[in-house]
Amino acid sequence: MTDLLSTLDLDRLRSRTSAKWRVYGPDVLPLWVAEMDVPLAEPIVRAVSDLVASGDTGYPAAPDEYVAAFSAFAAARWGWQVDTSLARVVPDILAGLSAVIEATTDRGDTILVPSPVYGPFFRNPRLQGRVVEPVALTADGRLDVPSLETAFAAAVAHGRRAAVLLSNPHNPTGAVHTRGELEALAAAAARHGVVVISDEAHAPLVHDGATFVPYVGVDPRGFSVLSAAKTWNLAGFKAAVVVAGTDAREIVESFPVTLFNSVGHVSLVAQAAAFRDGEPWLDELLPALTRSRDLLADLVAEHLPHARMQLPESTYLAWVDLSAYGAGDNPAAQILERGRVALSAGTDFGPGGEGHVRVNFATHPEILTEAVQRIAGALA
Ligand SMILES: Cc1ncc(COP(=O)(O)O)c(C=O)c1O
């Protein structure tokens, strides 16, 4: 069956110059960074090509078209009526998270992160002088709200402010937080005056059976940060939007105007085309991702019988526990060295990541199959 993941073979992918395909040598199968091995959606190709062909590559005008395209997508996809006066365009998701952290906490304050989680959640707040406090996810990779609440109480002692960085859906476990989980988190955060900043980078990439809930829909004091980059494979066209809850307007209004100076015109146009005209492509992509996820689960069961892998409810990333293979805290190192497959090391995701790897399954089924065989060989 030809689908978006089986269109590009290894030879064509090797000619790519982005990080996924260039960081490692030509003998390595790269299943690490969150890029997908797919052709771009036609409306995005057209929008970017038109700009380039006409030399229309200057500074961005007001971000209104981007915000309008995003909010129309959010309404159609999730029934989320975004109040666009609460939305601010920022250079990328991480810049949006940092801007909210800067505006809601001080140096020395605590940023709580449900762990294991996307590595920059640890690194970036530390660069801002914040103290990062991991709070373990439950054994099945979900939010542990009672433990978070205990950590909230400690973080705000002595008059300190605190925030929690939420990955919604969660990278790397793929958990799509339910409305009930988010409401419990919002209530706990409100009791302690903690701010919740929700990174919704993977929001549209939800497999059948789970439903994404935008965080600001359950918490007027919170923030949702989204972009088209993960869903339409546009990491090379950076832009994102921060949406404040209805009680947090003054925070986005306090963002420095210089933040928008780092947003690129071509990026805004590419991402706006994705939100506006990219839904048919997304609807074609999702079943292909689900098939690839299920193929990976079958391959793991066959070749790595001692591994533990839960089917992710979202994303094209699988979180696999390889600790039974005795390759130490970082099996990705042994797999790269002996098997020539690049995976994301579990230890990059903080406490709880030991013995794990993150596998990017947004690739050709033949590549995925060979990669798992090589991984099994490397761990044998
Ligand atoms: C959870 C999460 N947040 C943010 C990003 C990066 O987004 P950006 O490049 O827009 O900062 C990624 C990329 O993989 C991600 O997985």
Q: State both tokens at 201.
A: 């980078």
SS3 at position 38? coil
Q: Is 201 near ligand 1, meaning CB less than 6 Å away?
A: yes
- Quick one: which atom of ligand 1 is closest to the CA of 317? 16
Per-residue pLDDT at 217: 98
- What distance in Å separates the CA atoms of residue 359 and residue 5, rounded to the nearest whole number? 15
Q: How far is the CA of 254 from the centre of ligand 1 (A)?
A: 23
pLDDT tens digits along 276-305: 999 999 999 999 999 999 999 999 999 999
Q: Is 231 near ligand 1, meaning CB less than 6 Å away?
A: no
Is-contact 214 183, C-beta < 8 A? Answer: no
Strand partners, 196: 164
- What distance in Å separates the CA atoms of residue 348 and residue 335, rounded to the nearest whole number? 16
Q: How far is the CA of 246 from the centre of ligand 1 (A)?
A: 25
In this predicted structure, the answer to whether residue 2 has a pLDDT above a threshold of 90 is no
Q: Which CATH topology does 48-276 take?
A: Aspartate Aminotransferase; domain 2 (3.40.640)
Return the CATH architecture of domain 10-40+280-379.
Alpha-Beta Complex (3.90)
Per-residue pLDDT at 206: 98
Q: How far is the CA of 258 from the centre of ligand 1 (A)?
A: 21
Per-residue pLDDT at 231: 98
In this predicted structure, the answer to whether residue 200 has a pLDDT above a threshold of 90 is yes
Q: How far is the CA of 118 from the centre of ligand 1 (A)?
A: 8
Q: Is 35 near ligand 1, meaning CB less than 6 Å away?
A: no
Q: Is 92 near ligand 1, meaning CB less than 6 Å away?
A: yes
pLDDT mean over 342-364: 98
What average pLDDT does the structure give for the chain?
A: 98
Find out whether the peptide bond into 116 is cis, omega within 30 degrees of 0: yes
- What distance in Å separates the CA atoms of residue 327 and residue 75, rounded to the nearest whole number? 46
The amino acid present at 235, given as its one-letter code, is: A
Position 46 confidence tier, pLDDT thresholds 50, 70, 90: very high
Supply the residue whose CA is at minimum distance from atom 12 of ligand 1.
201
pLDDT mean over 167-194: 98
pTM value surpassing 0.95 = yes
pLDDT tens digits along 53-96: 999 999 999 899 999 999 999 999 999 999 999 999 999 999 99
Q: How far is the CA of 223 from the centre of ligand 1 (A)?
A: 16
Per-residue pLDDT at 1: 72
Q: Is 94 near ligand 1, meaning CB less than 6 Å away?
A: yes
For the chain, give every domain's residue range: 10-40+280-379, 48-276
Q: Is 93 near ligand 1, meaning CB less than 6 Å away?
A: yes
